[in-house]
Amino acid sequence: MIFTPSPMLLKLLYTRGSLRNTPNGVAFSIKNRLDTVRFTRLDYVQINEEHITPEHIALDLGDGDIRPAPDVLSRTPGGLEFLVGHSITFYLTTAALTEGIHGVQVQFAAEPFGDLHVEVEDSIVNQSTNRTRIPRQDADDYSEAAIQERQRFAEQYTEQEFKHLKHYSFDPHMLQGNCEHFVGVAQIPVGLAGPLTVHGEHAQGDFLIPMATTEGTLVASYNRGMQVLNLCGGVKCTVIGDAMQRAPVFVFDDARGARDFSKWVEAEIDAIRQEAESTSRIAKLQYIDTYLATKFAYLRFNYSTGDAAGQNMVGRATFAACSWILENYKGPAIRHFYLESNFATDKKASQINVMRTRGKRVVAEAVIKRDILHQRMRVTPEQLAYHGQVSNVGAFISGANNNGAHSANGITAMFIATGQDVANVSESSAGVLYTEVTKEGDLYMNITIPSLIVATHGGGTGLATQNECLRMLGCVGRGTVNKFAEIVAGVVLAGELSLGAAISSSDWVSSHEQYGRNR
C-alpha cells in the first residue's frame, strides 16, 4: 500500500488524552492507524515552544521495553517495524507541564510514506490516584496468574464466590483480539434443532442446527418448523446481495462545494478503488453511493469482504481511500472529515440497510403443503396468509424493521453458538416476510433478510466452542460464508412458520407453559 497521509489524517495518529506528566518529564502516545510501516527517523518533538531533540526522548515499544530513541532507530536495519494497530509511547526528558491545553508536534519519517508531521493539541488534567483498577499484566494478560488475580479481585470486590464463571476448557491466549480483562466464561445452553434440509446454491443437504439460548420453547419451536419444511421438501435459499459499508462524511462551506465534490468522486472512482483495495487481498470496492444534505457529502463505500464480516477491513480500506481523496481533491476546501458518519449504521437497524443491503441479502422460501400444515400446525394456508396481512398493518403502524414474527430469535441463537458479533443482530433482525395461497391451495412462504452480517473467518469464529458449532454446519474454511448465510435464512423461515402457526392456532401461550417459559 502506498498513499500519502494528509495532515487531517495524520492528526488521528496521536492518541488524544495520552499526554501526561512522568517522574522525569512528559509522555504521550501515537497509534498506527494507517498501515504497517517502518519508523526510520525521529527529527524532534515540540511541546508548546520547547524543541526536544531525539537524545532527550525514549520510546516504549510495548511490554515495558523502553529504550533511547537514537539507539532504537540507529541499530534497527531499515527502521523499526511499526505494525498497524500498535502504539509507541514517547518519554520526554523535560519540565513537567501545567494543567491545561498544550500543543504537541512530532516530526518523523516512515517508509513508505516518507516525512510525516503530526500537530495536535492535548491537555493535562488532574487525575485521581485512588481509582479502583481491574488488575492486568503487561507482559502476558492471558496467563493463568493474570486471570486468577482478576478472579480474586472480582470476588473480593463484590464479596461473592464464583464457582462456575472461572471454569473453561481452552487456552485463554486464543482470546487475544476477542476479549480484554478475561476472567471466565458465560455458559450458555446450546440446543440442537433439525436436521434442516436446505436447497441453496452454497448450502445443499441436511444440517444439524446449534442454537445457544436461555429462552424456553425457542429450540423446540424452530425444530417444529424445520420438521414441517422437511416434510414439504425443504427450504430453498439464495444469496442475492453482498455489501459491507464504511460511510465517511466530508464537510464544506456550502452545499455547492459538497455537490461539486460528489461529482469529482464519481469521476475518480477507479483511482479511489485502487487506493482502497491496496490495503487488502480480500476487500473489493464495488461502488460508492453519494448522499448530499446541507453542506455535507456522505459517501457510502460498499465492499465485498470474503468470508469475514469485514467491518474492520472496510474501515482500513476506506481510510486509505479517503487519505488519497484529501490529498488529491483540489476543489472547494474540505473543512472537516470523519471516517464514519453514522451513515453505514453499524450495529443499528436502518431503512437504508433494508433498501441497499448490509452484509448478505439472502432469501429463504418454501411451499408448505395444505395437508401437512393442517396436520402438523393445526392451521390452514388461508389462516396464515390472512394473519400475515393483519400483522403487516401492525408492523407498519409501529415502525418495525420486520413484518415477521421473530427472526432475531433464531439469528441471535445461531450467532452466539457460532461466534458472530452478536451486536450485528441490530441490522440482521430486519426482515420482509411474504405469504400467499397458491392455486393448488398450499402456502407459499418467503422471507428476505436484507442485512445479515455473518462470517466464517475472523472475529470469534475461531474460538473453541464457536468453531465446533461452525464445523457442525460444515462452515469452516475458505468460501463458506454464503453457505452459512443460506443456512441461517432457512432457520429463520422455519421459525417464522412455527411461531406464525402457533399464534394463529392459539397454541402460543400453551407451548410456553409446556416448556417452562411461564413457570
CA distance 495 to 514: 18
Q: Return the C-alpha cell found at 409.
A: 430469535
Handedness of CA 418, 422, 427, 433 (dihedral sign): positive
CA distance 258 to 294: 9
Report in angstroms the alpha-carbon separations of 32 from 129, 240, 446.
29, 37, 46
* Residue that the C-alpha cell 464514519 belongs to: 340
Angle, vertex CA 414, rays to CA 412 and CA 416, nearest 5: 70
Which residues partner with 46 through β-bridges? Answer: 51, 105
Q: Which residues are catalytic?
A: 215, 421, 512
Q: Strand 25-31 to strand 20-22: parallel, antiparallel, or no bridges (unpaired)?
A: antiparallel
Of residues 500, 504, 475, 279, the one with CA closest to residue 404:
500
Q: CB 510: neighbour CB atoms within 10 A?
A: 12
**CB of 431 within 8 A of CB of 447?**
yes
CA distance 288 to 297: 12
CA distance 386 to 261: 50
